[in-house]
Amino acid sequence: MIPITCIDVGGTFIKAGNVADGEISDERKIDTGNPGTLTRTLSQLILELGGRAAGIGITGLVDGNGRISSSPNLPEIKSLPLKEILERELNIPVLGDKVKDIVQLQSWEHRSVS
């Protein structure tokens, strides 16, 4: 299975790594930095990790097209078409979602999401 670069975008840090066959490798943790350069930061990170596909999670609301509707930790990126930009720049499939919210809900309910 090809590795998928998984990224968690937070207000302070971006955490990333490659996931394949249930194993995480090449883990990174960097400062989120300036929200105005977020797409450039994510593009560079995905390229460094050799991602052939990427999944990006962010706290907030993400519409069905991968456009960030709102993010309490990074309000400056409201309406950013993150999925579209990264797919165009990197020519790889990108899943943009509110993954962190799903994980938090899973923890709150004390059961696994399947």
Provide the CATH number for the domain around residue 42: 3.30.420.40
pLDDT score, position 104: 40
Q: How many domains does the chain have?
A: 1
pTM > 0.85: no
Task: Determine contact, residues 100/112, Cβ cutoff 8 Å.
Answer: no
Q: Is 88 buried (19+), middle (13-18) or exposed (0-12) by CB count in 10 A?
A: exposed
pLDDT score, position 109: 37
Task: Determine contact, residues 27/17, Cβ cutoff 8 Å.
Answer: yes
pLDDT score, position 98: 57
Question: Do the domain assignments include residue 52?
Answer: yes
Across the chain, which has 114 residues, the per-10-residue mean pLDDT values are: 86 90 88 91 95 86 81 88 93 74 37 36
Question: Do the domain assignments include residue 67?
Answer: yes
Question: Do the domain assignments include residue 114?
Answer: no
pLDDT score, position 79: 86
Question: Do the domain assignments include residue 91?
Answer: yes
Domain that holds residue 105: 4-109
Question: Do the domain assignments include residue 69?
Answer: yes
